[in-house]
Amino acid sequence: MWYVINGTDAGESLERRLAARAAHLARLQQLQNEGRLLLAGPYPAVDSSDPGPAGFTGSLIVAEFDSLEDAQSWANDDPYREAGVYASVSVKPFRKVLP
């Protein structure tokens, strides 16, 4: 089943985000290689695809897992969470309808 992982950034977390980015992307790439990633990306803090020093307010990941517990476990091990980028993370089941 698909699950939405929504991470909300802590304040002043841009430097931590940049430091942990390679490890975060490697895990997403693994999901993509396994055919389990629907989409992933950050929320810019300003209306721009490159927010610069304004940074980001969080991230959205939609990926396939065997269970809610597996999705939660994967989210808990995210390098952004471990680096203190995320102040909070929610995981919810998701049913893709379109496209």
Residue 25: CATH number of its domain: 3.30.70.1060
- pTM for the complete prediction? 0.95
**Is residue 6 a contact partner of residue 60, using CB atoms and an 8 Å limit?**
yes
Long-range contacts of 81-84 (CB under 8 A, 24+ apart): 81/7, 82/20, 83/16, 83/17, 83/19, 83/20, 84/10, 84/13, 84/16
- Report the number of distinct structural domains present in the chain: 1
Q: Name the band, by pLDDT with cuts 50, 70 and 90, for residue 70.
A: very high
The amino acid occupying position 66 is D
User: What are the DSSP calls for 21-55, one per residue?
Assistant: HHHHHHHHHHHHHTT-EEEEEEEESSSSSS-GGG-
In a domain, residue 99? The reply is no
**Per-residue pLDDT tens digits for 6-54:** 999 999 999 999 999 999 999 999 999 999 999 999 999 999 999 999 9
Range of the structural domain that residue 86 is part of: 2-94
